[in-house]
Amino acid sequence: MALRGLLRLGEVAVRVLDMGEAREHYGKRMGLHEVMTDAAGQVYFKAWDEHDHHCLVLREADSSGMDYFAFKVFDDATLDELEPKIRAFGLQVERIAAGVYPKSGRRLQFMLPSGHLMQLYAHKEQIGNSLGVRNPGVLPDEGVIRGFRINRLDHALLGGVNIDESARLFREVFGFDLSERLIDAEGGQSLALFLSCSTKPHDIAFVLQPTPGRFHHVSFLLESESDVIHAADLIGKYRIPVDVGPNRHGVTRGMTIYFFDPSGNRNEVFSGGYVHYPDTPTLTWDTTELGHATFAQDNVVRESFLTVLTG
Amino acid sequence: MALRGLLRLGEVAVRVLDMGEAREHYGKRMGLHEVMTDAAGQVYFKAWDEHDHHCLVLREADSSGMDYFAFKVFDDATLDELEPKIRAFGLQVERIAAGVYPKSGRRLQFMLPSGHLMQLYAHKEQIGNSLGVRNPGVLPDEGVIRGFRINRLDHALLGGVNIDESARLFREVFGFDLSERLIDAEGGQSLALFLSCSTKPHDIAFVLQPTPGRFHHVSFLLESESDVIHAADLIGKYRIPVDVGPNRHGVTRGMTIYFFDPSGNRNEVFSGGYVHYPDTPTLTWDTTELGHATFAQDNVVRESFLTVLTG
Amino acid sequence: MALRGLLRLGEVAVRVLDMGEAREHYGKRMGLHEVMTDAAGQVYFKAWDEHDHHCLVLREADSSGMDYFAFKVFDDATLDELEPKIRAFGLQVERIAAGVYPKSGRRLQFMLPSGHLMQLYAHKEQIGNSLGVRNPGVLPDEGVIRGFRINRLDHALLGGVNIDESARLFREVFGFDLSERLIDAEGGQSLALFLSCSTKPHDIAFVLQPTPGRFHHVSFLLESESDVIHAADLIGKYRIPVDVGPNRHGVTRGMTIYFFDPSGNRNEVFSGGYVHYPDTPTLTWDTTELGHATFAQDNVVRESFLTVLTG
Amino acid sequence: MALRGLLRLGEVAVRVLDMGEAREHYGKRMGLHEVMTDAAGQVYFKAWDEHDHHCLVLREADSSGMDYFAFKVFDDATLDELEPKIRAFGLQVERIAAGVYPKSGRRLQFMLPSGHLMQLYAHKEQIGNSLGVRNPGVLPDEGVIRGFRINRLDHALLGGVNIDESARLFREVFGFDLSERLIDAEGGQSLALFLSCSTKPHDIAFVLQPTPGRFHHVSFLLESESDVIHAADLIGKYRIPVDVGPNRHGVTRGMTIYFFDPSGNRNEVFSGGYVHYPDTPTLTWDTTELGHATFAQDNVVRESFLTVLTG
């Protein structure tokens, strides 16, 4: 059966310290397409191969970090089904009317145990990927794929407390798989949990942090490892601060590069990774292989990668 | 919600004229791993990154073609739910006990309107992808990824009559999306239908043919376009008859090469293609763009590709 | 010792039937940079990573084909040394004063035994590759690498009579290596000869044709096989007529695609190929492996590739 | 004119602390082909696509580092021509008879001003690249390209004193180009010098060090950036200590990874880089861009890369 319930991470709302610098970073350099500025001055972006109106919302603020993230669900009835289940799980659910969020249908909003504001919505205006739907072809016009050649918003990694509880919500209420986990080799405590609602190795992930509601990174999908290398070349050209990469994750097996936006929010572009199915065994990494789990091409444990978060 | 219902094409049973040549082709050259020969002399193969025991079964026979194809479903309860629905759709369903098919739980079997024998099963012995599930790493030992560097069985294209009816079964009973379709520009008749139960552009596809039960090709997933080129080099080295490629499909946007096994069955290896979701608009190609729909890098309409099938 | 004598194919002059279409093809689509139009209406192009002012000159005419090709030599003294040797070989040499060809120093011009007009020059204005020479960086600004992402003019394949004699000039007078040759398996006659003055598998090549002075193709270097695939996607998008490819040559081992400009002149873009040195053995292909020698990924002998030439 | 004089770096002799570990590293893991052990227990390796008998000689010793490096020259007459010129430059030249070095013709040996023992030879037994010279094909049999998929020995970077003098020998006596240099932004002192005798960005390079005769790294050529990533995966799998990478050099524009053999000798595998010609302007980097010059994808100045050498 095709995907039902929660389909994908459809929107991430990020706080930036300077909107001009942020537009330069996400638009001109990364090559996301700026599609709208709202009355409050928030700026909206989409990746070229997405059909929905936007996937990234930037808000200028005094601190960086993530305001909320939102999953698109299959249909309106899914929202009706999920609302009581989320309440039954023990969370308060706020109903947000259609139109409050631009181009968007009604939403449900709730705070995860890990301290992250999450939303669900079933509808967002579709503006297409520029190829059309009749004899669409395979390549858009020159200039559409630009900058880092980003295809799609892919996933986010969130840092917080009680990550087992957040993961339990995704597994028990939203029906996600636990594709991988990183545990403490001594006590067995969950240090990072990777959850999939698709054939991707993860659609959302949580990493244990001493404080709730932290933002580790938002990740965008590239088409190939060649494009990862190309993005790395541009990152170097623009002197964008690099956290790690290019390197390959042990977890997910994706080829990755981490870098920071001008406000200090971590971004990732990546490509590859294995195909996950519900019958794929959960993969478990422990801290004896922390280096290989995180960066499998040099096995270096990078303190900054584990401790620098925003929000 | 993670995938439920039908998960993926899990098994294709192909007839070959000479088992020795077939083992050379699928095992030594393509690099699939031979895992078993059964009492009847059938030979079983798996791709390296699959966890299940096998994905391809070869039977020596007087004619080439496909005996059946099988989808793995989420669990046993799924079989119970689907059986009456398939009957209600109008098909006869045969129950096959666990163990009749080696390493496999019980199966449901039925004949599609297009003339193809289809099976469903929920269980198959898992032997893993050789990486293990605890600190698995990202690369298996040398020799595991070999030949064409095939990751997984991906999909099949089946030729037959009444393909709209077969597609209706997949959409209405199995919950698949119609991701793409090729229609006659004049009459609007469906010429080929592409159906997805995942984020892949297709998990199964049908192409209209004058006779039922025909086998167009079975397709295997490679990790990158580099691997498509590498496979093409090996195909040329071994003088494997090539049908088309390397080239890119308009439909699915995958980079592909088609070739024939020694019995004349068409194989595909491919990489890439866009990410499909249930809210992705169905893409429609018509015969005015038949060349671009099939092979978008030269737009040539290849008669053989449309008319040469086995089975 | 660094390269001396003839350095590289530095300029090809091609006749086109319609300059507007040709500018669209070579400039907008292939992505070469138009740098000048001269008083006679000839249009000049360069590839992004070349330092010299131009590598391709287009002239509107009633027939397609090649007017001349020119090698850049190490210095002016090289011209002085070569002139008597070319005469001693038996060819008439015309001296062309500096400035007759725009941005160019003086030239020597002579007709090859195969019927092709060849020039040598030591100086051409250098305008750089846009990266500069002080802390140049690795990637030019966006828009500089565009279209087919062509790095450089690479080589030309010329069709004609007496190709052994033309090759003898390159070997004995110009000091080229015979890197590869294709011979008739029966009589041993040379059908194609590949000559290198560098570590490239060929800098110039000749293919036997019944008439002199024919133009088979001009070839441009891409950075990677990924870029070959990208160029193939654009070729398909623009409905540029494809001759062959993507495919890999047996000769040179390069990954290639052949296509035609709007006037019917054949172009190639390619990437890869082995490293040639003077002590690399000459590789000999014969007509029993004509398919593999030309297109090693499917071994098909393509009549059009061997017989369609311009000029 | 095809290459004359010094053709290429043909042999590097490296000291290792434990031959068993070294054979595992260079043979089993990197995938070089072990071709011989001599009477003294030295072990010889070749890369698959080279025609000469070997390119790497390992000697077990109490300290790591490089014993000597050797360039292959065009022919015996080249040795005769060069010997007096090297003496005239001020170096003592030792003649080594044919056969002293196995599979090798006579050699000239001299000490560079930077403190490195250099040899020249014109002949080494050719054993081919396994493809043959008649209808060779493009891919060797499976198992020939293995491990890191190394094509060739490419270059070495040597650390020492008086590097301007060593470079002057290569430029004035051997006719190399200075393709790139890194200088102190203040005093203009040469910190690293890159020299080419081909179309490669460098065939040999020197980096200033406080002591003579130091060995920075030996470098091997891979066919593609995909292969660099594949090598990085294997490096991570085998827990080979990584110095830097994957990353792209500013100097040469090659995509690289640096790692250490079990004795602490630095190795590089790389792919790509621009095409150099004698008329390509020398590129100058200064210490204000030391990060970008060395690793252009993150611009980080890595102390270890500049200070850790063997020998």
Q: What is the rounded CA–CA span in Å between residue D14 and residue D63?
A: 10
C276 as an active site residue: the answer is no
Q: Which of C197, C240, C213 is nearest to C31 (CA)?
A: C240
Question: Which residues of A does the annotation mark as catalytic?
Answer: 155, 202, 217, 249, 258, 268
Provide, as residue numbers in chain C, all residues whose Cβ is less than 8 Å from the Cβ of A138. Answer: 233, 236-237
Q: Is the pLDDT of residue D1 over 80?
A: no
Provide, as residue numbers in chain A, all residues whose Cβ is less than 8 Å from the Cβ of D233. Answer: 248, 296-297
Residues B159 and B294 grouped into a single domain: yes
C258 as an active site residue: the answer is yes
- In chain B, which residue's Cα lies nearest the Cα of D225? B226
Token pair recorded at residue D36:
């011989």
Question: Sign of the CA dihedral A203, A208, A209, A213?
Answer: positive
C202 as an active site residue: the answer is yes
CA distance C12 to chain B (A): 26
CB count in 10 Å sphere of residue B273: 23
Provide, as residue numbers in chain B, all residues whose Cβ is less than 8 Å from the Cβ of A283. Answer: 133-134, 136
Residue from the list A229, A242, A296 with its beta carbon closest to the beta carbon of D298: A242
Among D76, D105, D121, residue at a domain's last position: D121
> Mean of the pLDDT values across residues A114-120?
98
Q: What is the rounded CA–CA span in Å between residue A271 and residue A281?
A: 22
Hey, what's the torsion of the CAs at C306, D1, D5, D11, to 10 degrees? -20
> Mean of the pLDDT values across residues C233-258?
97
Q: Which of B269, B300, B273, B282 is nearest to B26 (CA)?
A: B269
Residues B109 and B165 grouped into a single domain: no
- In chain B, which residue's Cα lies nearest the Cα of C291? B236
How buried is C68 (Cβ within 10 angstroms: 0-12 exposed, 13-18 middle, 19+ buried)?
A: middle
User: Which candidate in B48, B125, B221, B277 is best for mutational testing of the A interface (most A CBs within 10 A)?
Assistant: B277
Q: What is the rounded CA–CA span in Å between residue A25 and residue A267?
A: 11
CA distance A135 to chain C (A): 11
Residue at D106: amino acid letter = R
D→B contacts (Cβ < 8 Å), by residue, are 137-139, 142, 146-147, 224, 226, 233-234, 236-237
Place of tokens 């004509």: C290
DSSP structure string for C269-306? EEEE-PPP-TTSPPEEEEGGGHHHHH-TTT----HHHH
Provide, as residue numbers in chain A, all residues whose Cβ is less than 8 Å from the Cβ of D295. Answer: 236
User: pLDDT tens, C107-148?
Assistant: 999 999 999 999 999 999 999 999 999 999 999 999 999 999
Provide, as residue numbers in chain B, all residues whose Cβ is less than 8 Å from the Cβ of A251. Answer: none
Helix (H) or strand (E) holding D58, with range, is: strand D56-60
Domain contains B213: yes
**Cis status of the peptide bond prior to A246, with omega within 30 of 0:** yes
Please judge whether A236 and D229 are an interchain contact, meaning their C-beta atoms are less than 8 angstroms apart: no
Residue C182: per-residue pLDDT: 97
Q: Which of B144, A104, A116, C278 is nearest to D233 (CA)?
A: B144
Residue C2: per-residue pLDDT: 82
Please judge whether A135 and B285 are an interchain contact, meaning their C-beta atoms are less than 8 angstroms apart: yes
Among C75, C102, C121, residue at a domain's last position: C121
Q: Which residues pair with C9 in a beta bridge?
A: C71
Q: What is the rounded CA–CA span in Å between residue A128 and residue B171?
A: 23
Residues B157 and B303 grouped into a single domain: yes
CA distance D3 to chain A (A): 32
Q: Which of C163, C72, C75, C71 is nearest to C112 (CA)?
A: C163
Residue from the list D138, D226, D233 with its beta carbon closest to the beta carbon of B233: D138
Q: What is the rounded CA–CA span in Å between residue C250 and residue B116?
A: 41
Report the relative pairing of strands A56-60 and A6-16 from DSSP bridges: parallel
Residue pair A122/A105 in contact by the 8 Å Cβ criterion: yes
B77: left (phi over 0), alpha (psi -120 to 50) or beta: alpha
Token pair recorded at residue B209:
């043919």
What chains are in contact with C, requiring at least 3 Cβ pairs below 8 Å?
A, B, D
- Decide: helix, strand or coil at residue B172: helix
Residue B244 phi, psi (nearest 5) = -150, 140
Residue from the list A137, A139, A226 with its beta carbon closest to the beta carbon of C226: A226
Q: Which of A31, A1, A7, A21 is nearest to A220 (CA)?
A: A31
Please judge whether D298 and A236 are an interchain contact, meaning their C-beta atoms are less than 8 angstroms apart: yes
Domain contains A23: yes
Mean pLDDT, all residues of chain D: 97
Q: Is the pLDDT of residue A201 over 80?
A: yes
Residue at B143: amino acid letter = G
Q: Is the pLDDT of residue C311 over 90?
A: no
Please judge whether A233 and C146 are an interchain contact, meaning their C-beta atoms are less than 8 angstroms apart: no
Q: Is the pLDDT of residue A311 over 90?
A: no
Token pair recorded at residue B25:
């082709």
Q: Which of D77, D87, D76, D81 is nearest to D110 (CA)?
A: D87
Residue D46 phi, psi (nearest 5) = -130, 160
CA distance A226 to chain C (A): 7
Contacts of D15 (CB under 8 A, 6+ apart): D58, D59, D60, D61, D63, D64, D65, D66, D67, D263, D265, D310, D311
Q: What is the rounded CA–CA span in Å between residue B172 and residue B174?
A: 6
Q: Which residues pair with D55 in a beta bridge?
A: none
Provide, as residue numbers in chain D, all residues whose Cβ is less than 8 Å from the Cβ of B237. Answer: 137-139
Q: What is the rounded CA–CA span in Å between residue B47 and residue B67?
A: 20
Residue B65: per-residue pLDDT: 97
User: pLDDT tens, C72-94?
Assistant: 999 999 999 999 999 999 999 99
Residues B100 and B170 grouped into a single domain: no
HSE (side-chain half, CA atoms, 13 Å) at B104 = 22
Contacts of A82 (CB under 8 A, 6+ apart): A5, A73, A108, A120, A173, A174
Q: Is the pLDDT of residue C21 over 90?
A: yes
Token pair recorded at residue C288:
């029993």
Residues B11 and B76 grouped into a single domain: yes
CA distance C282 to chain D (A): 7
User: pLDDT tens, A36-46?
Assistant: 999 999 999 99
Looking at chain A, list the stretches that DSSP marks H as alpha helix, in order from N- to C-terminal side.
19-23, 76-89, 163-168, 225-237, 290-294, 303-307
Place of tokens 């671009």: B292
CA distance C278 to chain D (A): 7
Provide, as residue numbers in chain B, all residues whose Cβ is less than 8 Å from the Cβ of D142. Answer: 146-147
User: pLDDT tens, A77-105?
Assistant: 999 999 999 999 999 999 999 999 999 99
Helix (H) or strand (E) holding B181, with range, is: strand B177-183
- In chain C, which residue's Cα lies nearest the Cα of B297? C236
Provide the CATH number for the domain around residue A242. Answer: 3.10.180.10
- Confidence class for position A2, pLDDT limits 50, 70, 90: confident
Domain contains A55: yes
User: Which candidate in C142, C149, C229 is best for mutational testing of the A interface (most A CBs within 10 A)?
Assistant: C142
Residues D64 and D115 grouped into a single domain: yes
Looking at B151-219, list the stretches that DSSP marks H as alpha helix, in order from N- to C-terminal side.
163-168
Residue at C86: amino acid letter = I
Residues B14 and B55 grouped into a single domain: yes
Helix (H) or strand (E) holding D226, with range, is: helix D225-237
> Mean of the pLDDT values across residues A27-32?
98
Residue pair D156/D12 in contact by the 8 Å Cβ criterion: yes
Provide, as residue numbers in chain D, all residues whose Cβ is less than 8 Å from the Cβ of C274. Answer: 49, 151
Q: What is the rounded CA–CA span in Å between residue A107 and residue A97?
A: 6
Nearest-5° Cα angle at A24, A21 to A29: 135
Residue at A47: amino acid letter = A
Please judge whether B139 and D237 are an interchain contact, meaning their C-beta atoms are less than 8 angstroms apart: yes
Residue from the list C2, C176, C197 with its beta carbon closest to the beta carbon of D176: C2
Please judge whether C138 and A237 are an interchain contact, meaning their C-beta atoms are less than 8 angstroms apart: yes
Q: Is the pLDDT of residue D116 over 80?
A: yes
Domain contains C132: no
Q: What is the rounded CA–CA span in Å between residue A266 and residue A255?
A: 16
CB count in 10 Å sphere of residue B36: 14
User: Radius of gyration (Cα) for chain A, nearest Å?
Assistant: 18
Domain that residue B42 falls in:
6-121
Q: Is the pLDDT of residue A165 over 90?
A: yes
Residue pair C109/C100 in contact by the 8 Å Cβ criterion: no
Please judge whether D142 and B146 are an interchain contact, meaning their C-beta atoms are less than 8 angstroms apart: yes
Helix (H) or strand (E) holding D229, with range, is: helix D225-237
- In chain B, which residue's Cα lies nearest the Cα of A247? B138
Residues A299 and A214 grouped into a single domain: yes
Please judge whether A198 and B2 are an interchain contact, meaning their C-beta atoms are less than 8 angstroms apart: yes
As a whole-number percent, the residues of chain A with pLDDT over 70 amount to 100
Domain contains A127: no
What chains are in contact with A, requiring at least 3 Cβ pairs below 8 Å?
B, C, D
CB pairs under 8 A between A and B: 151
Provide, as residue numbers in chain C, all residues whose Cβ is less than 8 Å from the Cβ of D5. Answer: 1
Q: Is the pLDDT of residue A308 over 80?
A: yes
Please judge whether D233 and A300 are an interchain contact, meaning their C-beta atoms are less than 8 angstroms apart: no
Residues C163 and C57 grouped into a single domain: no
Among B100, B121, B142, residue at a domain's last position: B121
Residues B98 and B230 grouped into a single domain: no
Please judge whether B147 and D147 are an interchain contact, meaning their C-beta atoms are less than 8 angstroms apart: no
C268 as an active site residue: the answer is yes
The active-site residue, picked from C155, C216, C276, C292, is C155
- In chain D, which residue's Cα lies nearest the Cα of C8? D277
CA distance B28 to chain D (A): 10
User: What tens-digit pLDDT sequence spans chain B (311 residues)?
Assistant: 789 999 999 999 999 999 999 999 999 999 999 999 999 999 999 999 999 999 999 999 999 999 999 999 999 999 999 999 999 999 999 999 999 999 999 999 999 999 999 999 999 999 999 999 999 999 999 999 999 999 999 999 999 999 999 999 999 999 999 999 999 999 999 999 999 999 999 999 999 999 999 999 999 999 999 999 999 999 999 999 999 989 999 999 999 999 999 999 999 999 999 999 999 999 999 999 999 999 999 999 998 888 888 98
Residues C159 and C257 grouped into a single domain: yes
B202 as an active site residue: the answer is yes
Residue D60: per-residue pLDDT: 98
HSE (side-chain half, CA atoms, 13 Å) at B146 = 18
Q: Is the pLDDT of residue C16 over 90?
A: yes
How buried is D32 (Cβ within 10 angstroms: 0-12 exposed, 13-18 middle, 19+ buried)?
A: buried
Q: Is the pLDDT of residue A1 over 80?
A: no
Residue from the list D134, D196, D248 with its beta carbon closest to the beta carbon of C284: D134
If you ran DSSP here, which 8-state letter would residue D53 be given? Answer: S
Domain contains A231: yes
Question: Which residues of D does the annotation mark as catalytic?
Answer: 155, 202, 217, 249, 258, 268
Please judge whether A146 and C142 are an interchain contact, meaning their C-beta atoms are less than 8 angstroms apart: yes
- In chain B, which residue's Cα lies nearest the Cα of A133? B283
Residues A160 and A59 grouped into a single domain: no
> Mean of the pLDDT values across residues A235-246?
97
Domain contains B280: yes
Domain contains B183: yes
Q: Provide the domain count of chain B.
A: 2
Q: What share of chain C is helix, strand, coil (3-state, %, to 5)?
A: 20, 40, 40
User: pLDDT tens, C168-185?
Assistant: 999 999 999 999 999 999
Token pair recorded at residue B187:
């009459």
